[in-house]
Structure 1
Amino acid sequence: MDKERLPRWGWLLVGLFAMTIVANLVNVFVLGPAGLAEEYHVVTIITAMSLVLIYVGVWYDEHRQQYWEHRRERIFGDVVFIVVGAVVGSSLALVAILDFGLSRLVQDVVAMVAGFLLSWGLFWWRNPELYRNEDGL
């Protein structure tokens, strides 16, 4: 894939749209028939979107290319941390606010914020060198 074909925000939009479609297909064909309540279908979408939000930046930014020199097992472990963080964060947020009578949109946004923050926090915890500036801060 050519990074210069689209700006960073273009890659984000393409990735988020693609992962949303994949997550909705998983919801419709796997998790829905398995009995997962519709209120929790957003967790799958948040998880898929978290991967895109984190990895497009790592892939696109030149100063973060050293990340791809890690072993495959390490990168796979990072993906697991992101997925688990997004699932746990968004699920806990939904469980905490589901009975408050908030609109579905507010519930989804709160779950997205919680899921993304926990997944990015876990990714940062495993890879703090990616987010240091040139001064080492």
Structure 2
Amino acid sequence: MDKERLPRWGWLLAGLFVAALVANLLNLFVLVPTVFPEEYRAVTVITTMSPVLIYVGVWYDEHRQHYWEQSGAHIAGDVLFVVTGAALGSAIVLVAIIDFGIPAFLREVLAMGAGFLMSWGLFWWRNPDVYADESAR
């Protein structure tokens, strides 16, 4: 994929669109009819979007390219941490606030914030050098 074809925000927008599409199809055909109550469908969307938010920046920024020199097992472990963090963070918030009568949009925004923060925090915890200050190198 050619990084120069689109600006960073274009890649981010395209990735988030594909992630939302996949999550909603998964919700529509698998999770909501069999496992999840409909109120928790945002967990799937947040979980599929979180790797896009983190990895588009790591892929696009030249000064973060050293991340891709790590082993495939380490990168796969990072993706697992990101996905798990997003699912847990968003689910914890939704479970805590679902019965407070908060409008669905606000519930989902709060869950999204918690899920993305937890996933990025776990990614940063495993890879502090990716976000290290350039003057420290």
With structure 1 as the length reference, what TM-score do the two structures score?
Answer: 0.97
SS at match of 1:100: coil
Q: Distance in 2 between matches of 1:114 and 1:27?
A: 20
**How do 1:88-127 and structure 2 match up within 5 A?**
88-127=88-127
- Alignment-derived partner of residue 32 in structure 1: 32
Aligned residues: CA RMSD: 1.0
Distance in 2 of aligned mates of 1:33 and 1:91: 18
- State the SS of the aligned residue for 1:16: helix
Q: For residue 57 of structure 2, what is the aligned residue in structure 1?
A: 57
- Look up the SS of the partner of 2:92 in the other structure: helix
Q: Distance in 2 between matches of 1:87 and 1:134?
A: 31
Q: Which residue number in structure 2 is paired with residue 71 of structure 1?
A: 71
* Aligned-pair CA distance for 1:35: 2.9
| Equivalent position of 2:6 in the other structure | 6
Paired residue total? 137
| Distance in 2 of aligned mates of 1:97 and 1:136 | 41
Q: Which runs of 5+ in 1 are unaligned?
A: none
Task: For 2:106, give the aligned amino acid.
Answer: V
Distance in 1 between residues matched to 2:35 and 2:132, nearest whole Å: 43
d(CA) in 2 for partners of 1:50, 1:39: 19
Q: Extract unaligned runs of 5+ from structure 2.
A: none
- SS of 2:135's partner is coil
CA distance in 2: counterparts of 1:107 and 1:77, whole angstroms: 29
Q: Secondary structure at the match of 2:46?
A: helix
State the partner residue of 1:136.
136
Q: Which residue type is aligned with residue 107 of structure 1?
A: R
Alpha-carbon distance, 1:33 to partner: 2.3
1:41 lines up with 2:41 in the alignment: yes
Distance (whole Å) between structure 2 residues aligned to residue 5 and residue 54 of structure 1: 20
